[in-house]
Amino acid sequence: MKKLNRRIKKKSIWALVFVLALSGFASAIVGCSNIQESSDNQQKNSNRGLERTSDQLGGYAEKLYQYHGTYTGNNSNVGAIVHALNYTDLPIKSFELKTDSEPYGITVNYQVDSRANYRFREDIETAWNKNAAVMFSLIPNAGEISLRLNDQYGEFYGAYYNRENLSERYGMEYFTADTVKQATASPDSFANFLNKVSVIKNIEDSYSELQKQSMERDKQIYSVIGDDREITPNSSVNFPVIITNDFAVSPPIRELTDQKELFGQYKGKKIDFTIYNINNFKSNNTTFYLFAFDGTKMIAYIDLKTAASEQNAIRTFTALQK
C-alpha cells in the first residue's frame, strides 16, 4: 500500500511538472508572438512615416507642377507659383509682370521690417537661386526674373536672373537653359528637378578668403555705425600701411592723433586703413568713416564727418603708398 502511494505521488509530481512546463511554453509562445507583433507594428509605423514624407515631397511637386506651362501674362498662375515656393519665408509684397516686349520678365518684391536685420544675405541669395530655377521651369517664356528686398525706406537689395546664363551662377551648373526647359516634361522629371534644386549650394561656400575677411570686417563696421546707417556699395578705398615709428609718433592725419599709443603697439605690422561712405538711409545723410584693421580685427575707427576730411585722408594715405 505504501509503495502504491509513493507511485501515485510520483505520478502526481510528474504531472504537475508537465503542466507547468506546458504553461511556460505557452507563455513563451505568447511572448514571442507579442514581440513579433510589436516588431511588425513598428515596421508598419516606420513605413507609414516614409509614406508620409514621400507624400509631402510629392505634394509639393504636384502643387507646383499643376502650373507648368504658365506664361508671364497669366497673372493668377504666376502669383500662385510665387506664393507656393517655400525656399524662403520672406514676406511677399507684390509682383510685377513685363509682357509688352521680349525678354518677358517677372519682378517679385519682398517686404521686411528693417534692413538692419538683413545685413548679410547669403542664405537669401541661395534661396532666391532656387526660386529662380523653379520659376523658369514653370514659366517657359520668362526670360528675366528680378527679386527685390524692401523695407519702409525702399529697396535695399536685389538679384537679377537671366534664363540663358542661370547656369553660370555658383553651384548652378546643372541648370542650363535646356535642362530647365525639359524639367516639366513629366511629373517624374519635375520631381527629379526639384531634388536638384533642393541641393543647390549655399553661395557662401564660394567665398574666397578675401571675401570672408571682408564679411568679418563688415560685421564689425555695422556694430560701429548702428542700425540706421549702411555702407554705400563700392565706396571703399583701402590703403595697406606698414606702421613705422614716425607713423606711431606722429600719425599723418590729425584725426588719428589720439591713437598714438595704439599704433605704437603695431610697429612693423601692416595695417589696412579703409575709408567708406556711410549713408543714413532714414535721413539720407552721408558721412565718411576711416577704419583700421589688423587682418580681420578692427583696431581703430574715426568718423571723418566731411568730404574735405575724406579727401585729405585719401591724399595722405595715397602718398604713403609710394
Give CA–CA dist 218/241, Å, rounded: 20
pLDDT at 132 over 60: yes
Q: How confident is the model at residue 60 (pLDDT cuts 50, 70, 90)?
A: very high
pLDDT at position 161: 98
Q: Give 26-45 pLDDT, tens digit per residue.
A: 343 333 334 334 344 444 44
Instruction: Name residue 111's beta-bridge partners.
Output: 150
pLDDT at 118 over 90: yes
Give CA–CA dist 186/283, Å, rounded: 53
Pairing of strands 104-111, 142-151: parallel
pLDDT at position 26: 38
The pTM of this model reads 0.78
pLDDT at position 5: 42
User: What are the structural domain ranges in the chain?
Assistant: 1-65, 75-206, 209-320
pLDDT at position 13: 37
Q: How confident is the model at residue 130 (pLDDT cuts 50, 70, 90)?
A: very high
Q: How confident is the model at residue 206 (pLDDT cuts 50, 70, 90)?
A: very high
pLDDT at position 58: 72
Burial 147-181 (b: 16+ CB within 10 A, else e): bbbbbeeeebbebebebeebbebbebeebbeebbe
* CATH architecture type of domain 75-206: 2-Layer Sandwich (3.30)
